[in-house]
Amino acid sequence: MSRFIPSLEAFAKGTLATAAGLSTLSVGLLWYGQGYLIYPSAFPHGSRTEEVAKPSDYGIPYDELNLVTPDNVTLKCYMLRQHKDLVSKNPAAIQLPTDSDPDLTEDEFVAGRPTIVMFHGNAGNHGHRIPLAKVFYLRMRCNVLMMCYRGYGLSEGSPSEQGLQIDAQTGLNHLLNDERYKQTPISRVKRIFQVLYGQSIGGAVSIDLISKNPDKIAALILENTFTSLPSLIPHALPLLGPLAFLCHQKWDSISKVPMIPSMTPILMLSGLRDEIVPKDQMRILYQAFAKRDEKTTRGGKEYKAGLEHTKYIEFPDGGHNDTCVQEGYWTAVADFIASLSPESIYY
């Protein structure tokens, strides 16, 4: 029996060494390869080889928008710009007081409409969201900037948290610097206002952007987004739950809530059957938004601004990717947009 002891000891040592090596390799792959897990639609750039849908495929006029980021990445985005003659084609669209002004020029009309900046979720690219943009464009008469992150669709580069944040800021800067979308000095046309619409990881992108530009964003619409990526991993990837601390792509939205003005209107849309983002994550974010502590007095009564300006709606049958087709979803969004008169926007 004694002759087997050295062999067993060697086997045990070899097993431990192999296990340690595999663990080190697994941790290394998780640390350096988590981009493939977090941004699956961008790797291995499969979406670049397919034809990306265009708004014209849906009968919508648009501009191809090539945005170059400060780190020299070209983003292939779409800009849907409003037109006065769409009024008669869609009488049910949201109307503003200036719409009936016969002396309003085309540029003045565009400058008077809200602009929706769309930040899509992880699956697919901005071409898959054109039906959603069409609702904003035709029903709500908004200008729509459809962002496409680096590495997605036909955009250059590879995605990362810092990269997507740069992309978002580049899109906002474009609107702020484009003469057609700048604040107009004409008294009968109120200044343009930007509304961020973010789905899933796009919600995290939106929260980060408004936290860094609190005086340049009018309102926020969030659908099925999360408090942070590390907190999401145990649910989305249970096997990797114990290694969530290794996630360096933080997207720590919950920590950025205090940086967002409490007077900023926020609409939160949560699908209760979301199989990726637990409904509790949206509820925790809502509570954080509602607790923003700035107060305001109206009609002799004091209101908690955060709670007053944050609306939270749940959709019992909404999953992660189909909440946007649930009954009442677009009515809630349209009512929210219609309530955003320029006079109600707090910059």
User: What single string gives the DSSP state of each residue in 178-237?
Assistant: -TTTSPP--TTSPPP-EEEEEETHHHHHHHHHHHH-TTT--EEEEES--S-HHHHHHHHS
The full set of domain ranges for the chain reads 1-38, 43-344
The CATH classification of domain 43-344, taken from the options 3.10.180.10, 3.30.365.10, 1.10.150.530, 3.40.50.1820: 3.40.50.1820
pLDDT in tens, 295-336: 555 555 555 677 788 999 999 999 999 999 999 999 999 999
Lookup: tokens for 131:
């039906």
How far apart are alpha carbons 344 and 347 in whole angstroms?
A: 10
- pTM for this predicted structure: 0.83
pLDDT at 38: 76
Helix (H, G, I), strand (E, B) or coil at 141: coil
310-315: strand order across its sheet:
63-68, 74-80, 143-146, 115-119, 194-199, 219-223, 266-271, 310-315
Mean pLDDT of 84-105: 69
Among 21-25, 89-93, 273-277, which is the least confidently predicted range? Answer: 21-25
Higher pLDDT, 89 or 55: 55
Query: Which H or E element spans position 30?
Result: helix 5-38
Which amino acid type is present at position 78? Y
